[in-house]
Amino acid sequence: MRHSSGEVLIVGAGIGGLTAALELYRRGIACRIYESAPEIRPVGVGINLLPHATEVLGALGLVPHLAKLAVETAEAAFFNRFGQLIYQEPLGRRAGYSWPQFSIHRADLQAVLLDAVKSRIGEARIHLGWHCTGFEQDEKRVRLSFRDRDPVEGEAAVACDGIHSVIRRQLYPHEGEPRYSGVNMWRGVTRWKPILSGASMLRAGWLATGKLVHYPIRNEVDETVDGKKRQLVNWLWEIETPSYQRWDWNRAARVEDFIAGAQSWKFNWLDVPAFLRAAELVLEYPMVDKDPLPAWSFGRVTLLGDAAHPMVPRGSNGAGQAILDAKVLAEKLAQGTNPASLKSYESERLGPTSSVVLENRRNPPDAILREVYERTGDRPFDSIEAVISAQELAALSERYKQVAGYDKVSLRR
């Protein structure tokens, strides 16, 4: 038995787990991280960090490191599948926020977090190849069990082990598998010349016939043979699909599996079929989530990030909410490493994240595309103002920001 007196045990070294470790360290709380993978490898592709998340990372001193690797997102742009502009708005600092919005490769974000944990907390506190199988606890301690390893004891345990969370499954053994949204998603990366502002987050089309999300995540420094700079662009293709295979972020796919719906998408700002066929990597993932839980914290054990509130990736918000969880968790544990602090964390974060999970189902930012699709009957328009007013479009965008907690009023508070 390994005793970690006074320490918080973190299960999982993803974005939520690493951020939690840094937040705890910042407040003088000892912790250890237990990751099932024998090495930390990048999973997924691009990720968007909204201003409420970069504010937290800024307080940890990480924004200058992220700025060197990421693309600072300047604007959101919405188009129909005929290439007509529906709505455009500035993002991040361009929109008057104090903190930037970053589009970044998930591997780059994880590397920045991991390097910070190693340098501040110490590499010896990151335990790789430790596959957690469950927990036991009493009034004073929690004990984690591992496959082919000795158990470990601490004062609290935080499950940051994602949608497949072992800890969540023990707490809710009859919950069942994730809920399929009815939308299948393919995602990948393509090196391509900058389009629009060169720092735009683009959404086009709608789920019934196919929807494209496109945003650059790295500015390449080398020049191509035609003398033009390229960016590494993260893209998603989403379409309503009745059936799907079991979720798996790492399932390789082919562009030909889905490109039929995009064959006519050739606009003066992007040849979509050519762009997709130039992909260096294609992954398939059915868009799933889970219903919000009634509770996360049980005694000295709690959930964080996707282990607590997995959501469909339609609001650029999954990682951001995990980062916010980590900050609040550390603030509460600074008042005492005990069940009351974990319940206080749950009380502050469960409600807001449940609202985001449900809003991502109903009215994420791309609800703008749905409204135009339905009002036009999926036909080109002569004037967007005749379809929907600028005020309605802005209200749809602002509503999501308010629910997700990154509208300017919430951040000022």
Q: What's the predicted TM-score (pTM) here?
A: 0.93
Residue 42: inside a domain, yes or no?
Answer: yes
Residue 261: inside a domain, yes or no?
Answer: no
Residue 324: inside a domain, yes or no?
Answer: yes
Give me Rg for the CA atoms of the chain. Answer: 22
pLDDT of residue 294: 98
pLDDT of residue 4: 47
Number of domains in the chain: 1
pLDDT of residue 226: 53
The CATH number assigned to the domain holding 161 equals 3.50.50.60
Residue 115: inside a domain, yes or no?
Answer: yes
- The mean predicted confidence, pLDDT, of the chain is 92
Residue 336: inside a domain, yes or no?
Answer: yes
Q: pLDDT tens across 77-126, in order? A: 999 999 999 999 999 999 999 999 999 999 999 999 999 999 999 999 99
Residue 375: inside a domain, yes or no?
Answer: no
b/e per residue 316-335 (b: at least 16 CB within 10 A): bbbbbbbbbbbbbbbebbee
Residues of the chain short of pLDDT 50, as ranges, are 1-4, 225
Q: pLDDT tens across 18-31, in order? A: 999 999 999 999 99
Residue 137: inside a domain, yes or no?
Answer: yes
Structural domain including 335 reads: 2-69+104-177+292-361
Contact 150, 144 (CB under 8 A): no
pLDDT of residue 250: 66
